[in-house]
Structures are given as structure tokens and as C-alpha cells.
């Protein structure tokens, strides 16, 4: 059998270390590990990549994609467009073909001939009879399927010039001690490579060794946040399975088993409960936090909705708890396997009555690690729920990121906890009394002292000594104190990051979270069109005063978000009392990660409406 060959069109995309490869696969076919090897082998050549899983809410059978952006410059946002499509799924064939850039490449399994109408004239076709090769090589059905993936990896390595030694090293690391698996994978790789070398025409996309990866690590945000919780001293994790957050709790379990088992006794220095639902998850965290353990839960939007009553209790009764929300497409069940930043308002003002909650907004896995550890400190310091808002794009995709750091001298900030000695010495204890003027009262752990320091925790209003009270002045004292605490929080949370032009720009951009890599690239794209902007990456709510200043200093501020309603913009308007007309929403919310092209296009259209119209015409 020979590969399908069509005459190559005149135009062939040509790029080195700067292109996008997309794999269209069937869920459950074992493609994920081959695709990851593809990305990693390029990384090992010193060339930055950013892969993204685009997967269904399904275990087997539905379409799934893996999109790898190769960028020597280190742009990690989604670019948009596809230069090389590895089309392994007949179900999505037509849509996949459409996505290829003119002059791009289509790699497909040519075992069964396809009519010419199934192809595009302006796309270069690379057919390889993968099924036929596998069927003649392997007898076992599962092997035929699995090694098909390794075989296309081999072929791609030849076409793109990926150093096969890097793939082999990765195999060796992966199958250490499993020599049989190592050998069979090596063999499949070689088969793929041999076929490509003998039968396939060279293409215009190439990987060339570079030195742009450096010390960076390749990890997803859920693993990073889990590690942050391990290092930050979380001992209780109560959670309920929900996409896209489940792998966070599972990673926490994995690292605890490795690093938190007492060597002498073999006993665990952690407790992980898979609860019956999200209400119980947060309830357990509240109980553990009340009793002096560092507790966190991890969830997604629907879980936040269920947790609302407890979040209000923790706010009002002032109990530390950390909630990591890996956001997905809402509302309701929404798009469970797609990304969004649409829980911002639901978290900021969660629960009935007057409430406000601290939100931390990491941009990448590195900050997922940092902010998760910091959230545990902040929860204890501020005695309140702390939300870490990541999203599916950061949480479930491996991203090139700065290595994790930990200073062994760092101790946990357990906040204001009155000790048995202080109580014994007669120090006045009013659980809800503002003694330091920062709005943060002292607390005691249960069981501290025989006669002093006990109090009754409740969701009802109370006086400064925790005695039940529905008197107006007692209630107002408490609510005002909570606002003072809110002010204190402004200086404790991660401060925004300003990238200014030094007064040149009249316009500004505010953005946060996973929009970050695409924003950096968009600013460069805009700069090429002589459109300059100052940028401010907001990293937390409450907003420090510098956020308000940034808005005041600019005639117009674009607020770039991945939701329909401009939720952070609403928060900015509400908290600063800003004229909404000055904040221009730039919104991307179809569930795919925002791209630099989209941001630059949307902002350019507003900065130069006339010119863009001319171009469009």
C-alpha cells in the first residue's frame, strides 16, 4: 500500500521554531502520552512550547485535540490558527481540515483512500498508512492502537527535525525499570521514522535547537497549586470530584504520600477526605480551620454555588479557609471542559448579606504555587475565606513556567492566635474585638486553656466578646470592623504588576489570570502598529489603591477578560465608583483560551476604528 500523495500546492508555509501543530484524536485512544512526548521533546531542544488539551466531558469515544504552539520567542498564549494538523479522527475531519492555514500541512492516516473532495487544494497533504503499518507489525489490538500514536510521533520527528535522541531519553525516563515497554516504544518510534525518511516529502516547518527554555519547568497549574498547598502547610483537604479541579486534589494526595509521611511512625501528617458533596467539603474545611489546622478545598463553579452558605459563615464567624476554584465555562453545568474567568463575581460577593472575599488571581503555574501557599497564610492572618481563582487553561495544561521556590527559613503566619500563656497571664480576650485597629481580632483554638478563652462560634450576630446579640450597635461595630479588616487585606494581598510606557500612553489595559501570556504578545502586536498602552495585571481583590490610580491616570482603560459580562470590570466600577464609560470591556468567552490575535484585534479596532474599517473594506 502506498501513501496518498497529491501534488504539493505552490505555497508552503515555512517557519522555524514558530508554528502551531494540532493533533485531532479520539478520546481514550492513548494519544495523550504520545502528544505530550512530542511537546516535551521540543522543549528538550531548548525551544519553548505551550500545549493545550481541548477535551470533551467524556472518557472514551468523543473527539479530543492537543494543540501545541512552538515559539522560540517564548509566547505561551494560544496563537490561533493551525500550521500542521495531525488529523487522526474521522469524526472531526471536515472541521479540522478547515482550520489549517493556507499553505499549511495535513498529516493523516492514508490506509483507507479518501476522495479528493475531502482535501483542500491550498493545503499540503502528507499521508502515512499508519493503520496498515501497525496491523502488519502488531497482532494485539491494543498495541495496534497505542503504537499508531508513537509511530506518528516518529514520523513527525523526521518531518520537523526533532532530535530523536530527545524522544528516546524521554522514553528512558518514562519506562525506567520497564524494559519491555521501553523496547517496544523505541521500535514503534523507529518504524515511524523509517517510513517518513523513505516515503514522505520534507515540509517547511522545522524545529531547531535553541536555548530559550533555561531553568523553566513544564507543569500544569493544578499540580502547582497542590504543591503550593503541601509547602504552605495545608493538612486537611476536603473535596468533591469536579472538572477541572479534581487533578489538584489528586496531586495533593500524591505529594503528601511522598513527602508527608512521618518516617518513624509511618503515619500521615495530612488528612484528605473525598466528601459527599461540595457543601460537606467546605464544611470540613471550616471545621478544621476553626480548630487550628490549615484546610483547603478545590472546586469549580458549580461547587462554589453550593458552598455559598458556608462561605458566608466563614466570613461572618471569621474562620480561615482556602478555596481553590479552577474556573470552567458557566453558568450551570455550562462547558465543563472549557475555560472561562466567569466565577469572579460569584466568589467576590459569595453568600447572602453584605460580604466581600479575598481573591487571588494567578497568571500561571508558578503563581498557582506561590498564591496557594500564600492563601493559607492569608486565611490565617485575615481569618476569612481566601479564594485562589485559576481556570482550566492554567489548571489542566502543562505550561512552561519559572521554577518553584521555597525558602526553608519561611515560617507559616498563623495570624492572631492567643496562647494558653497569654490567657493565663490575664490578657483580655474578646473574640470579635478590634484591639490592634486593623480589624483583625484574636482567636483561640479549642482546648487551649481550662478556664479562659472558650467562646461560642456562631453565624448569628454577637458582641465583641462573642455573646449573642441582635443590638444594632453591636451588629454595626462588627460589620464596620470587618470593613477595616478588608482595608488591611489590601496591603497583604499580591500587588498588581504595572508595565508602563513612561507616560507615552493615554490608554491602559487591565487584565488578570490566564489572559497574561496572550496579553504580553498582544502588546507587542499592537506596538508594531504604533498603538501603545500601559498594562496593569491585577493579582488580587481587594484592589490595592494603585489599581484605582492606574485607572485615573488613563483616559481610557481596556479591561480584558474571559467572560461575557465583564465581571472584573463590574468589580472595578463597584469598588472604585468609576464612570463605566472609562472602562472598555474586551471579552472573549467561547470557552477557548483567549489569543493574542483576538486581544490585539479588539483593542486596535477601538483605538483606530476608522483605519480598521478601511482595512476590512
Of residues 105 and 171, the one with the C-beta less far from other proteins: 171
Q: How far apart are CA 355 and CA 351, in angstroms?
A: 7
**Three-state SS across 116-134?**
HHHCCCCCEEEEECHHHHH
Task: Measure Cα distances from 428 to 110, 240, 317 in Å.
Answer: 81, 40, 19
Of residues 451 and 504, the one with the C-beta less far from other proteins: 451
- Residues whose CB is less than 8 angstroms from the CB of residue 172 and which lie 6 or more positions away in sequence, other chains included: 182
Of residues 236 and 522, the one with the C-beta less far from other proteins: 236
Q: How far apart are CA 171 and CA 165, in angstroms?
A: 10
Residue 4 is placed in which grid cell?
496518498
Of residues 48 and 127, the one with the C-beta less far from other proteins: 48
Of residues 453 and 496, the one with the C-beta less far from other proteins: 453
- How far apart are CB 160 and other proteins at their closest, in Å? 21
- Residues whose CB is less than 8 angstroms from the CB of residue 373 and which lie 6 or more positions away in sequence, other chains included: 228, 229, 231, 232, 233
- How far apart are CB 229 and other proteins at their closest, in Å? 10
Of residues 27 and 469, the one with the C-beta less far from other proteins: 469
Nearest to 119 by CA among 4, 3, 2: 4
- How far apart are CB 378 and other proteins at their closest, in Å? 16
Which DSSP string do the residues of 7-27 spell out, in sequence order? PPPS----EESEEEEEEEEET
- How far apart are CB 92 and other proteins at their closest, in Å? 31
Handedness of CA 8, 9, 10, 12 (dihedral sign): negative
Nearest to 252 by CA among 324, 338, 357, 146: 324
| Helix H or strand E encompassing 83 | strand 82-87
- How far apart are CB 576 and other proteins at their closest, in Å? 33
Residue 502 is placed in which grid cell?
513612561
Which alpha helices (H) appear in 175-215, and where do they start and end? 179-199
- How far apart are CB 45 and other proteins at their closest, in Å? 13
Indicate the SS3 state at residue 533.
strand
Residue 330 is placed in which grid cell?
458557566
Indicate the SS3 state at residue 411.
coil
Residue 340 is placed in which grid cell?
472561562
- How far apart are CB 492 and other proteins at their closest, in Å? 19
Of residues 284 and 560, the one with the C-beta less far from other proteins: 284
Of residues 151 and 282, the one with the C-beta less far from other proteins: 282
- How far apart are CB 344 and other proteins at their closest, in Å? 25
- How far apart are CB 225 and other proteins at their closest, in Å? 14
Of residues 74 and 329, the one with the C-beta less far from other proteins: 74
- How far apart are CB 219 and other proteins at their closest, in Å? 5
Of residues 83 and 363, the one with the C-beta less far from other proteins: 363
CB 539 within 8 A of CB 496: yes
End-to-end CA distance of the chain: 49
**Bridge partners for 509 per DSSP:** 535, 558
Amino acid at each position: 500500500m502506498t501513501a496518498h500523495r497529491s501534488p504539493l500546492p505552490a505555497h508552503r508555509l515555512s517557519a522555524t521554531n514558530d508554528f502551531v501543530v494540532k493533533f485531532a484524536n479520539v478520546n481514550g485512544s492513548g494519544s495523550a502520552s504520545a502528544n505530550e512526548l512530542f511537546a516535551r521533546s521540543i522543549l528538550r531542544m531548548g525551544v519553548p512550547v505551550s500545549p493545550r488539551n481541548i477535551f470533551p466531558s467524556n472518557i472514551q469515544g468523543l473527539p479530543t485535540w492537543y494543540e501545541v504552539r512552538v515559539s522560540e520567542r517564548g509566547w505561551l498564549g494560544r496563537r490561533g490558527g493551525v500550521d500542521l494538523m495531525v488529523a487522526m479522527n474521522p469524526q472531526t475531519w471536515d472541521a479540522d481540515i478547515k482550520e489549517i492555514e493556507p499553505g499549511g500541512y495535513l498529516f493523516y492516516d492514508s490506509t483507507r483512500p479518501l476522495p479528493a473532495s475531502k482535501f483542500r487544494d491550498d493545503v499540503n497533504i502528507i499521508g502515512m498508512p499508519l493503520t496498515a503499518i501497525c496491523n502488519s507489525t502488531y497482532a494485539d489490538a491494543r498495541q495496534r492502537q497505542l503504537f499508531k500514536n508513537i509511530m506518528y510521533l516518529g514520523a513527525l520527528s523526521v518531518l520537523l527535525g526533532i532530535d530523536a535522541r530527545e524522544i528516546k531519553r524521554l522514553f528512558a525516563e518514562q519506562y525506567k525499570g520497564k524494559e519491555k515497554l521501553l523496547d517496544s516504544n523505541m521500535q514503534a518510534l523507529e518504524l515511524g521514522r523509517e517510513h517518513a525518511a523513505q516515503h514522505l516529502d520534507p515540509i517547511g516547518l522545522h524545529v531547531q535547537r535553541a536555548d530559550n527554555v533555561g531553568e523553566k519547568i513544564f507543569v500544569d497549574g493544578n499540580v502547582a497549586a497542590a504543591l503550593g498547598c503541601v509547602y504552605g502547610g495545608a493538612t486537611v483537604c476536603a473535596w468533591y470530584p469536579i472538572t477541572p479541579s479534581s487533578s489538584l486534589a489528586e496531586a495533593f494526595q500524591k505529594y503528601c504520600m511522598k513527602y508527608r509521611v512521618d518516617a518513624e511512625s509511618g503515619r500521615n501528617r495530612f488528612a484528605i477526605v473525598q466528601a459527599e458533596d461540595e457543601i460537606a467539603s467546605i464544611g470540613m474545611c471550616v471545621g478544621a480551620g476553626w480548630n487550628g489546622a490549615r484546610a483547603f478545598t478545590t472546586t469549580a463553579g458549580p461547587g462554589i454555588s453550593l458552598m455559598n452558605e458556608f462561605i458566608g459563615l466563614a466570613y461572618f464567624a471569621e474562620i480561615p479557609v482556602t478555596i481553590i476554584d479552577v474556573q470552567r465555562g458557566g453558568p450551570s453545568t455550562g462547558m465543563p471542559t472549557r475555560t472561562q474567568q466567569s466565577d469572579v463575581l460569584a466568589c467576590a460577593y459569595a453568600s447572602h448579606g453584605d460580604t466581600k472575599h479575598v481573591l487571588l488571581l494567578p497568571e500561571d503555574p508558578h503563581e498557582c504555587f506561590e498564591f496557594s501557599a500564600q492563601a493559607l497564610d492569608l486565611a490565617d492572618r485575615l481569618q476569612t475565606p481566601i479564594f485562589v481563582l485559576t481556570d482550566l487553561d492554567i489548571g489542566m495544561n502543562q505550561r512552561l513556567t519559572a521554577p518553584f521556590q521555597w525558602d526553608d527559613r519561611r515560617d507559616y503566619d498563623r495570624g492572631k492566635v492567643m496562647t494558653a500563656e497569654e490567657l493565663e497571664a490575664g490578657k483580655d480576650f474578646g473574640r470579635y474585638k478590634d484591639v490592634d485597629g486593623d480589624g483583625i481580632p484574636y482567636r483561640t483554638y479549642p482546648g487551649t486553656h481550662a478556664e479562659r478563652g472558650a467562646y461560642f462560634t456562631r453565624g448569628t450576630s454577637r458582641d465583641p466578646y462573642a455573646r449573642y446579640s441582635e443590638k444594632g450597635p453591636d451588629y454595626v461595630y462588627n460589620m464596620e470592623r470587618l470593613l477595616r479588616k478588608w482595608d488591611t487585606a489590601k496591603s497583604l494581598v499580591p500587588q498588581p504588576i504595572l508595565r508602563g510606557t513612561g507616560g507615552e500612553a493615554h490608554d491602559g489595559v487591565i487584565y488578570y489570570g490566564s489572559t497574561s501570556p496572550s496579553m504580553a504578545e498582544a502588546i507587542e502586536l499592537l506596538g508594531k502598529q504604533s498603538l501603545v498602552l500601559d498594562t496593569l495585571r491585577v493579582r488580587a481583590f481587594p484592589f490595592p489603591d494603585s489599581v484605582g490610580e492606574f485607572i485615573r491616570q488613563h483616559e481610557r482603560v481596556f479591561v480584558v477578560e474571559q467572560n461575557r459580562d465583564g465581571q472584573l470590570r463590574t468589580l472595578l466600577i463597584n469598588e472604585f465608583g468609576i464612570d463605566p464609560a472609562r472602562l472598555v470591556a474586551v471579552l472573549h468567552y467561547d470557552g477557548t483560551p483567549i489569543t493574542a490575535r483576538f486581544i490585539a484585534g479588539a483593542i486596535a479596532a477601538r483605538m483606530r476604528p476608522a483605519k480598521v474599517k478601511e482595512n476590512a473594506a
